[in-house]
Amino acid sequence: EEYTYINDFDVSSDNKILTILSSSINKLLVYGIVDTGFAFQRSVKLKSPAPYRVSLVPNTDKAFLAIPPWRGNEPTLSLLINIVGDTIHFKPNCYKYKLVGNRNYLASNDMLVYSIGNTICFKEEFSDTVFFVDTKDNFFKPRMIFDTHGTLLTPEIRGNPEIPNEHISFIGSISETSRYVFYSYASKETRNSDHPLVNVFFDKRTKKKSKLDVGFIFETVIDNTVKTTVNKLKDDLGGGPDFTMRIGRWDRYCSGDKLFSFVDAIILKKYVAGEDFKNAKVSDPKKKNELKKLADSLNETDNPVLIIVTPKE
């Protein structure tokens, strides 16, 4: 079946099913994963308003769907369906609003969805609470609360641009591992700073929060050089290049208890040949030697190198 746009996709926990969400046709497209590629199995027609996020619930035949609050009158923003599209459970939308004027802004982080192990978690825009899908009874239950002290964006402010909003805060992204919660936020205090969006990790064991250092990278976008704000994690094990993440995009870097990023082959080769790498003091010299061998074996035009970070347990 044809589609013109992919909003989201997910792969089943047994790596046998690929599900594509296309809001342009308001359908889920289900493919079997076979040795030769992908075999179309079926499509599932969805009701309006269209969801923009899909997560297959591990070890079940169900899918979680997240709907953005862009109209203000959505009956639900979070629902669970089965493989034929029947609604198994939904959370009534308690945050409806009337849109004043003809314009509304649309943002991908209006619905936050992530997984930790076999658990699907989500946060709606106007709620401080992160919920999870309980596969025992198919209900949505609270997992954690971000205490924003009453400063979170309200439906009334979302619907009326004339209402002052200088005091509001929002959570831009969330990811989680067995020990850490990674999230980004903006508040009244950060909004007028050089870095209005702040990335934080919370250690569940020690109950401590830490902000990540901010740096910059330069990228070429349509023949123009663009300065991009990123967070950087230093590799003190093997002395490799910084692990860089665009601020506010934790969900794009964290999966399965690990963090993922890339470095271009040419950049890795130049870094390893430079003084910073040669003089780097590391806790694992063997890893440093292995990294040098890898860089020396690459051509400048090779594909980017995958960097995987495993947070401490």
Predicted local confidence at residue 1, as pLDDT: 77
Give a yes or no: residue 91 inside a domain.
yes
Residue 103 CB-density burial (10 A; 0-12 exposed, 13-18 middle, 19+ buried): exposed
Q: Say how far apart CA 184 and CA 250 lie, in whole Å.
A: 8
**Dihedral (CA of 279, 281, 285, 288) sign:** negative
Give a yes or no: residue 217 inside a domain.
no
Predicted local confidence at residue 250, as pLDDT: 65
Give a yes or no: residue 277 inside a domain.
no
Q: Say how far apart CA 150 and CA 148 lie, in whole Å.
A: 6
Tell me the pLDDT tens digit for each residue of 23-38.
989 999 999 999 889 9
Q: If DSSP codes are grouped into helix, strand and coil, which group holds residue 276?
A: helix
Domain harbouring 136, CATH code: 2.130.10.10
State the residue range of the domain holding 115.
Answer: 1-147
Note the pTM of the prediction, 2 decimals: 0.86
Q: Say how far apart CA 266 and CA 11 lie, in whole Å.
A: 32
Tell me the pLDDT tens digit for each residue of 187-215.
888 777 777 778 888 999 999 998 887 77
Q: Could you give the number of structural domains in the chain?
A: 1
Q: Say how far apart CA 8 and CA 22 lie, in whole Å.
A: 7
